[in-house]
């Protein structure tokens, strides 16, 4: 899903600790900087959110085990 970032998204992402980047996904190989499902990772690893930028959310994203809430 692609969306344009606005101030509301930034505020809500910060308030709820939104995780959506490859780096937080269980399928991301940090050493190779690749996706286990072979999706391109560049568009899913944007810098900090800023108004007007386009962000791409991956349909395969799954929060990594180390970040899971117990």
Whole-number Å distance between alpha carbons of 29 and 12: 28
Position 64 scores a pLDDT of 77
The pTM score is 0.75
Position 69 scores a pLDDT of 43
Position 41 scores a pLDDT of 94
Position 47 scores a pLDDT of 86
Position 68 scores a pLDDT of 41
33 φ/ψ sector (left φ>0, alpha ψ -120 to 50, else beta): left
Q: What is the mean pLDDT of each run of 10 residues along the chain (70 residues)?
A: 95 95 94 94 90 93 64
Whole-number Å distance between alpha carbons of 47 and 35: 18
């Amino acid at each position: 899903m692609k969306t344009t970032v606005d101030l509301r998204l930034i505020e809500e992402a910060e308030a709820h600790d939104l995780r959506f980047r490859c780096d937080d996904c269980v399928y991301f190989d940090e050493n190779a900087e690749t996706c286990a499902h072979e999706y391109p990772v560049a568009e899913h690893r944007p810098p900090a959110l800023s108004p007007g930028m386009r962000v791409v959310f991956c349909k395969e994203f799954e929060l990594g085990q180390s970040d899971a809430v117990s």
